[in-house]
């Protein structure tokens, strides 16, 4: 079993499982978010600070549900607290679509924003790091240190258009391999919301012997037609952008060269332009509307117009688009969105009703009462199939309530983990 990490020394962690970077990581780097002229906004190895990330290299190729494999998988993750002597106090926290491993802690070098569930993780909080060892990985296919479309393939070129289709099941398999590398055979709990909730659900069904409890928030058992339709339009916005280049936009005139100053062998030359930034921004605008409730948008913005003539709600969407472009990769947005479109916990298991009704893992199911993207009827179905009461998060914020209503989510997690 690897030694328990020192929570006070996370800024310069020792990698577990031999996670040697492809290009050397400098001791410091100037940026924590992509500049205006960057071709993509994900974490850039050799350019951006490591921050609180740790890295694990999986020991063998990852076989994929749809066929094929990813030859060399690296998972970025962060931890809080200490793993006990029996490795029985570990909790896995899983992020949503545009989240990452930085679930707790302040913004700083390598981390453009504070932890997305910062109020839940720490001494005395719902995920009490005085008792628990909390692990938050960046998902397979992501762009914040884990292997994804922007990562070098075995030939040294970015995967780009060659990146394979990845499912929720594949993401869980990568996380299971990470758990093996950390010496964790069974999680005390697996907790997640939205896409993270999908993975928590899949963890319980795929690896029931490795999950003591699953806390599933703001998702369903299978993607609905409306969700698939909304996601399909967002993907069209990205892949229809002239800067998409079929997915092969990661090396461009604005991309830093490797240390030897040469493009990787076999590369045909950098793409022109700045990548599909416009398409990614449009996709984020569409998504942001679905993440919030109609009542909240009306109360906050109505039809009010700014002095420059722009509608206030349009300026709000522009702001969120700009923020995402600076920290996220369009290729990762496409691959993770496709994973959510194909989410079905019952695939190959006789349907989701059968898969959940026979799962032995104790569940806690929660939903946001104003969520229109993953409406609460979907969580009610999960609760009915798993034989537990539905926990309701009361919020005017819509789907994003699982990130914003920290006190309510904290109570749900404390009850699930039986923490006073």
DSSP state of 127: E
The count of residues in the chain is 420
φ/ψ (deg, to 5) at 388: -130, 160
Give catalytic status of residue 399 as yes or no: yes
Cα–Cα nearest to 147, from 335, 307, 387, 372: 335
Q: Are strands 54-57 and 74-80 parallel, antiparallel or unpaired?
A: antiparallel
Q: CA 13 from chain center: how many Å? A: 21
SS3 279: helix
Give catalytic status of residue 118 as yes or no: no
Helix (H) or strand (E) holding 283, with range, is helix 277-291
What is the spatial distance between Cα 189 and Cα 223, in angstroms, rounded to a whole number?
A: 24
Task: Collect all residues with Cβ–Cβ distance below 8 Å to 354 and sequence separation of at least 6.
Answer: 346
What is the spatial distance between Cα 187 and Cα 211, in angstroms, rounded to a whole number?
A: 5
Active-site option among 194, 293, 332, 370: 194
CB-count burial class (<10 Å; 0-12, 13-18, 19+) for 108: middle
Give catalytic status of residue 48 as yes or no: no
Rg (CA), the chain: 21
What is the spatial distance between Cα 110 and Cα 347, in angstroms, rounded to a whole number?
A: 38
* 400 annotated as ligand-binding: yes
Active-site option among 100, 170, 329, 371: 371
* 170 annotated as ligand-binding: no
CA-CA-CA-CA torsion for 103, 390, 174, 116, nearest 10 degrees? Answer: -10
Q: CA 148 from chain center: how many Å? A: 12
Report the catalytic residues: 194, 371, 399
Q: Binding site for substrate: what residues are annotated?
A: 284, 400
Q: Binding site: what residues are annotated?
A: 284, 400
């Amino acid at each position: 079993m690897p030694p328990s990490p020192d929570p006070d020394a996370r800024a310069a962690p020792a990698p577990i499982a031999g996670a040697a970077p492809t290009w050397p990581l400098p001791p410091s780097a100037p940026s924590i978010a992509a500049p205006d002229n960057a071709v993509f906004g994900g974490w850039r190895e050799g350019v951006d600070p490591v921050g609180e990330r740790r890295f694990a290299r999986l020991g063998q190729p990852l076989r994929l549900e749809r066929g094929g494999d990813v030859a060399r998988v690296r998972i970025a993750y962060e931890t809080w607290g200490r793993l006990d002597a029996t490795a029985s106090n570990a909790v896995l926290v899983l992020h949503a679509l545009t989240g990452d491993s930085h679930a707790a802690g302040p913004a700083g070098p390598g981390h453009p924003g504070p932890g997305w569930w910062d109020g839940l993780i720490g001494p005395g909080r719902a995920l009490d790091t005085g008792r628990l060892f909390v692990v938050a990985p960046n998902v397979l296919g992501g762009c914040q240190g884990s292997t994804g479309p922007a990562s070098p393939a075995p030939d040294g070129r970015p995967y780009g258009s060659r990146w394979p289709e990845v499912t929720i099941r594949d993401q869980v398999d990568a996380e299971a391999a990470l758990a093996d590398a950390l010496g964790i055979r069974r999680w005390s709990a697996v907790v997640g919301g939205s896409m993270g909730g999908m993975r928590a659900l899949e963890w319980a069904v795929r690896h029931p012997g490795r999950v003591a409890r699953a806390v599933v928030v703001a998702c369903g058992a299978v993607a609905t037609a409306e969700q698939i339709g909304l996601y399909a339009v967002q993907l069209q916005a990205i892949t229809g952008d002239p800067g998409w280049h079929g997915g092969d936009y990661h090396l461009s005139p604005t991309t830093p060269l490797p240390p030897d100053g040469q493009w990787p062998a076999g590369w045909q030359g950098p793409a022109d332009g700045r990548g599909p930034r416009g398409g990614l921004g449009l996709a984020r605008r569409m998504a942001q509307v679905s993440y919030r409730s109609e009542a909240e948008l009306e109360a906050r913005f109505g039809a009010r117009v700014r002095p420059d003539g722009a509608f206030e709600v349009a300026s709000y969407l522009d702001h969120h688009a700009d923020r995402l472009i600076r920290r996220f990769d369009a290729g990762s947005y496409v691959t993770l969105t496709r994973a959510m479109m194909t989410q079905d916990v019952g695939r190959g298991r006789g349907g989701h009703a059968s898969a959940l009704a026979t799962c032995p893992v104790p569940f806690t199911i929660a939903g946001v009462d104003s969520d229109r993207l993953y409406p609460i009827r979907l969580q009610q179905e999960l609760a009915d199939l798993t034989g537990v009461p539905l926990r309701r998060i009361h919020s005017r914020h819509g789907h994003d309530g699982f990130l914003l209503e920290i006190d309510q989510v904290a109570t749900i997690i404390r009850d699930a983990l039986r923490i006073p």
